């Protein structure tokens, strides 16, 4: 069984979903996750790659906390990504957020360093440490790490 628990401070929404049981993803749960992780600025939702949720879930398990993740960014529409790129040099032009393959997450009970180490130890995608902004980027792209 795999379960993800998150809340979104921008929308006030929460999700607590068992999304994988007996070797199979549960379509209804993935649909809920897609809507929860939508671009809150535009309301647009796409299919979030379940491997992104797997990375977050595996990392969360390693951190041994019951606190749900705070979702800062899941899916980003191309318009939102372009706007964020104009504001920050840390936003990739071809961000995996735009294809539903990334999440920026925070936990109050764990440091960015602890979250980064847990996610990186999964060796299942990209992990970025953003200590200054207090979040960790997790994606299901190529295995790589960055940040300070």
Per-residue DSSP letters for 23-43?
TEE-HHHHHHHHHHTS-TTT-
| pLDDT score at 49 | 98
CB 47 within 8 Å of CB 75: no
| pLDDT score at 88 | 86
| pLDDT score at 148 | 81
**Token duo for residue 41:** 């600025």
CA 46 to CA 31: how far, in whole Å? 9
| pLDDT score at 90 | 82
What parts of the chain have a pLDDT lower than 50? Answer: none
User: Which CATH number describes the domain made up of 2-147?
Assistant: 3.30.1380.10
Where along the chain do its domains lie?
2-147
């Amino acid at each position: 069984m795999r379960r993800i628990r998150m809340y979104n401070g921008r929308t006030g929404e929460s999700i607590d979903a068992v999304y994988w049981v007996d070797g199979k993803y549960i379509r209804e749960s993935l649909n809920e996750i897609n809507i929860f992780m939508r671009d809150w600025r535009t309301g647009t939702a796409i299919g979030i790659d379940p491997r992104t949720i797997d990375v977050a879930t595996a990392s969360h398990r390693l951190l041994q906390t019951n606190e749900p993740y705070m979702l800062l960014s899941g899916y980003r529409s191309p318009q939102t990504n372009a706007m964020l790129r104009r504001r920050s040099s840390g936003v990739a032009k071809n961000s995996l957020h735009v294809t539903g393959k990334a999440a920026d997450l925070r936990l109050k009970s764990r440091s960015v360093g602890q979250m980064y180490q847990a996610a990186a130890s999964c060796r299942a995608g990209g992990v970025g440490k953003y200590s200054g902004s207090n979040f960790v980027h997790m994606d299901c792209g190529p295995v790589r790490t960055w940040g300070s």
